Structure 1
Amino acid sequence: MRDTSHAVEPGSAAGPARTKGQGGGRRLEAAELLPRQVRAHRSPAEIHSSIVGGALGIKGHDGAMASGAVCPAFAYTIVYVTDVEKAAAFYAAAFGSDVRRLDQSHKWAELESGATTIAFTPLHQRETDGLSGEVQLPDAAAARGPVEVCFVYADVDAAYRRAVEHGAVPVSAPEQKPWGQKSGFVRDMDGNVVRIGSHVRE
């Protein structure tokens, strides 16, 4: 039979956990739930944050995280465009990515772009104008938005030429960067900046 006299029950955000035993056992302080070598380098506030935030991975009887911790995955980069179908076709031709999905409403398209999906959706819709704010495109040739899309290639020069030949607006020809990447910049049909680069060498 398994000895449960010292099994730990997860606590709530409002208080520490308990040890199982006769009479309910004693209450464990939050710090006792961390390994000794970790406790030595954390302040009481950091320890409390770890417990409440679920960083320890302590699970309840149903297998769920006791504190509702989240483990995010970067799933989408969404580009707001004037014409979803044309934008998807442009990206496929200019940057060499296949179109994975074009919704029948023509309000959503996706590229085959690896672990993170690049998607396109209209500039003006309820999700922007009515909920999160109107999308503002650059109002001058020298202006740009705060986010860029970057594609990496084995041959950056060839990829840059292909993009320009298929309608991308040249901004800066590829050059070697001090951080170990070769990259150049173009604009798509809506003026968004796209980086064409190599993998960064360590």
Structure 2
Amino acid sequence: MDITIQASFLAHEDAEASVAFYRDALGFEIRLDVGSGQQRWITVGPPGQPDTSIVLHPLGTNSDDERTAITEMMAKGTYGVIILATADLDGTFERIRKTGATVEQEPTMQPWGARDCVFRDPAGNTVRINEIAS
């Protein structure tokens, strides 16, 4: 079977802040920006990997109770999670940290054997970055 990951979805609450984080802090390219104001679906992805994307989407028209629950989960960093990877974890961490991104964890060796760091995007989504062997 030949299956690849084409897109993952993460919610945003502030389209411009999300664009700044994914474009300026992570270095992703903006591939598509559809809609207007805060009702925008923004597709981003790493340069040189055109077949892999993250779609940043507005919370939508959930009920008040659903929106409250989702907003609370986003504030805790438990609603959306994306795991990225880099060969230069320390350099990547410093570059992202210098943009003012919210640091949740500095580069750390985990008990399961991975070395990683964790940021939160402007909506509160967890962005974990693993170190891979170069």
Q: TM-score, normalised by structure 2?
A: 0.75
Give how far 1:87 is off.
0.6
Opposite residue 168 of structure 1, the aligned amino acid is: A
Over 3 Å counting, the alpha-carbon distance change for 1:98 and 1:140 in structure 2 is closer
* CA distance in structure 2 between the aligned counterparts of 1:172 and 1:163, rounded to whole angstroms: 12
**In the alignment, which of 22, 34, 57 is matched to residue 121 of structure 1?**
57
* CA distance in structure 1 between the aligned counterparts of 2:132 and 2:72, rounded to whole angstroms: 28
1:74 and 2:8 aligned: no
Residue 6 of structure 1: aligned partner: none
- CA deviations over 1:127-155 (Å, ceiling 9, x no partner): xx16xx536134697x3215411221111
Over 3 Å counting, the alpha-carbon distance change for 1:76 and 1:139 in structure 2 is closer
Over 3 Å counting, the alpha-carbon distance change for 1:157 and 1:144 in structure 2 is same
Residue 84 of structure 1: aligned partner: 15
1:95 and 2:26 aligned: yes
Structure with the bigger RCO (C-alpha within 8 Å, sep 6+) is: 2
* CA distance in structure 2 between the aligned counterparts of 1:140 and 1:191, rounded to whole angstroms: 5
User: Which structure shows the higher strand fraction?
Assistant: 2
Opposite residue 192 of structure 1, the aligned amino acid is: N
> Which ranges in structure 2 are unaligned for 5 or more consecutive residues?
none
Among the aligned pairs, what percent are the same residue?
26
* CA distance in structure 2 between the aligned counterparts of 1:169 and 1:138, rounded to whole angstroms: 17
Q: TM-score, normalised by structure 1?
A: 0.53
Residue 83 of structure 2: aligned partner: 150
- Counterpart contact for 1:85–1:102, Cα < 8 Å: no
